[in-house]
Amino acid sequence: MFDSDRLMDRSGLSFQDMNCNLAAVSKQPKGIMKEVKEVVRLARKFNDTVVRPQALEMDRKIHRDPDYLPWEWVKAANEFGFYTLWIPKMFGGKGYSFSSMAYFAEELASCCLGMANLISVHYLGLATLTATWNLPLALKLCKEAVEGEKSGVPCLFDFAITEPAAGTDIADTHLVDKGSVALQAVRVEGGYTVNGTKIFISNGHFSTWHIVMGYEDLKRPADTFIFFALKSDTKGFSLGRKEKKMGQKACPASELIFHDCFVPDDQVCIDARQTRGMSRSHREIYQIIFDSICSSSKAGVCAFSAGVARGVYEKTLEHTANTRVGGSLMMNLEWVQARLADMLRNVAVTRLLYSEVNFANGMYGLNKMLQVKPAYYLYKYLPAPLVAKISAPIVNSSLCLWLTRKIQLDWKKDEELQRTTGWASIAKFTGSDAAMENCRIGLDLMGQEGLRNENAIEKFLRDSKLLQIYEGTNELNRLEAFKCVIGRNRFEITMFEDR
């Protein structure tokens, strides 16, 4: 029998695997295009008025005083309404499609990667709330973010998973069970008592709510994981050191310390009690939630990469158009022209890749629910107060919680999860490597001019190196791509059992 799904190649991948864009073309609402243009326009205005005039000085200021926290940037983003742009209307936000966020992130990153991260990480917290499908809790927290925008006191979220002795371990159930996690959540009446430390948490010092991963049994972390939300004024919670990073200095990497913190049940995003009765095991749900979050966040890293690649390309282009070497205008030298073409290729390929992950997430991932055309247009054109009024009782109902989790976690198809995770991993390591390549080409073409902080290229390089590390090192992401794309359905394959 002729199998059209196997048409594209012989490697066991389906048509949908390799062409998320084509699959999405007829199903994606056209309105998303308009939203993309709107948010890019907003980002450009923000870059022109806030970021570009201050980015280099901010970088120097934090280099001079590593403890400095750029609250003025947090507040400026709040005034522009950036912390509620992608909060769904049902939660009181402006309800822009998640797909448009990557284009926004690219635009900001083309100017300052630290600022792009400062805003995007807030939505990583929201993505975690969404991935656990605890909609009542998401509603509660998002209302505070909306209130923070109105009052002028920003309410941000962060996402805390990395621990001093466990970074990469967290990414996979196989690894985490053998790893050295230490943030323990002990069941007590009405909730949990939490002890431990998280490190490298982006925006930790700015966030009101911390979305945290912990474990009931440190010897069986995958089977006993728990996600919870903890407010920064909780008794026993404190902020530790602010890391001294090589780049992305505007976005603090924080240490979060939990000492006998009480987390009430209504702040638990998900735990083993809530997944009891589902057909999937708690450890399978660990992987689904983790991969769903990463499918979104890695698309974001790829968008950051496209922004950096473009920012460096534009600066270099300008330099080569105005600089002479050995009497010739640089831009007229063939080797320079070829390098500029390489740089533009890196911008284009990186943008295509995050777009593909966007398509995958819209078709099969976290973005799917609100990008189905009827839901999209319903939320798009109904007035926000009406949406909130209609949604609140539904969102808070136990039936809704049960049904969304049934659909999103229990009935989630493995191949759909592998598709989004695999593409996200490929986009992440390809994009960040491309961004780094552009920085290197830019530095070479600009010579000693590129070494000077005032010309921005060296900042792009320092900022970009982190793209190859966070959201899993590129080495780990290559293995994730193998697991989800190449090794899929090959039962002889083992992962993380290297000898």
Partner 1 sequence: MTTSDEREYKLLINTSRDFAKKILLPHREENDRYPLADMDEKIMEKAYELDFFHVWLPEELGGFGGHLKKLVLILENIAETDAGMAVMILINAMAQEIILQAGEGKALADICTREKSVHDFLIAFPAFTNPFETSSVANARKKGDTYILNGETPYVVLGNISGQALVYAKIEGDDSDSFFLVDLKAGSVRTGDPVISLGLHACPVCDVCFHDTEAMIIGEKGKAPDYFNRMYGTFMLAGASIAAGIMRGAFDDALAYCRNRVQGGRPIGNWSELQLMLSHMALTVKNAETMIACLCEGGAGKGTEGDEGIISASIPIFDQARDVTSSGIQALGGYGYMEDYSQEKRFRDAQHLQSFLGRATLKKLNFLKSFYKLAS
Residues near partner 1 (CB under 8 A) are: 60, 63-64, 66, 162, 165, 167-169, 174-175, 178-180, 199-200, 243-247, 253, 323-327, 335, 339, 436, 440, 443-445, 447-448, 450-454, 458, 461-462, 465-466, 468-470, 473-475, 478-479, 496, 498
Which amino acid appears at position 340 of this protein?
L
CB 301, min distance to partner 1, A: 14
CA distances from 76 to 61, 68, 199, 202 (A): 18, 17, 26, 18
DSSP class per residue in 3-43? -GGGSS-SSS--HHHH-HHHHHHTTS-THHHHHHHHHHHHH
CB 324, min distance to partner 1, A: 4
CB 451, min distance to partner 1, A: 5
Which residue's entry shows tokens 């759909």? 416
CB 498, min distance to partner 1, A: 5
CB 497, min distance to partner 1, A: 9
CB 448, min distance to partner 1, A: 4
Are 256 and 204 spatial neighbours (Cβ–Cβ below 8 Å)? yes
Nearest to 38 by CA among 86, 102, 100: 100
Please, which residue, 101 or 112, has the CB nearer to partner 1?
112
Torsion of CA 350, 354, 357, 361, to 10 degrees: 180
Please, which residue, 243 or 410, has the CB nearer to partner 1?
243
CB 163, min distance to partner 1, A: 11
Are 305 and 467 spatial neighbours (Cβ–Cβ below 8 Å)? yes
Cα R_g (the chain), whole angstroms: 22
Please, which residue, 367 or 455, has the CB nearer to partner 1?
455
CB 130, min distance to partner 1, A: 25
CA distances from 72 to 78, 191, 201, 247, 474 (A): 10, 36, 20, 19, 33
Are 297 and 229 spatial neighbours (Cβ–Cβ below 8 Å)? no
269, containing H or E segment:
strand 268-270
CB 144, min distance to partner 1, A: 29
CB 90, min distance to partner 1, A: 35
Please, which residue, 324 or 389, has the CB nearer to partner 1?
324
Distance of CA 425 to the CA centre of its chain: 12
127, containing H or E segment:
helix 113-131
Are 228 and 269 spatial neighbours (Cβ–Cβ below 8 Å)? yes
Please, which residue, 267 or 464, has the CB nearer to partner 1?
464
Distance of CA 437 to the CA centre of its chain: 22
Which amino acid appears at position 473 of this protein?
T
Residue 263, strand partner residues: 192
Please, which residue, 52 or 140, has the CB nearer to partner 1?
52
462, containing H or E segment:
helix 457-465
Please, which residue, 62 or 145, has the CB nearer to partner 1?
62
Please, which residue, 44 or 174, has the CB nearer to partner 1?
174
Nearest to 140 by CA among 120, 157, 124, 117: 157
Which amino acid appears at position 138 of this protein?
A
Are 207 and 278 spatial neighbours (Cβ–Cβ below 8 Å)? no
Please, which residue, 34 or 324, has the CB nearer to partner 1?
324
Are 206 and 254 spatial neighbours (Cβ–Cβ below 8 Å)? no
CB 189, min distance to partner 1, A: 34
Structure-token pair, residue 296? 């979104």
Please, which residue, 368 or 462, has the CB nearer to partner 1?
462
Ramachandran region of residue 92, left (φ > 0), alpha (ψ -120 to 50) or beta?
left
CB 445, min distance to partner 1, A: 7
Please, which residue, 164 or 385, has the CB nearer to partner 1?
164
Nearest to 293 by CA among 168, 121, 484: 121
Nearest to 57 by CA among 43, 72, 45, 46: 72
Please, which residue, 132 or 248, has the CB nearer to partner 1?
248
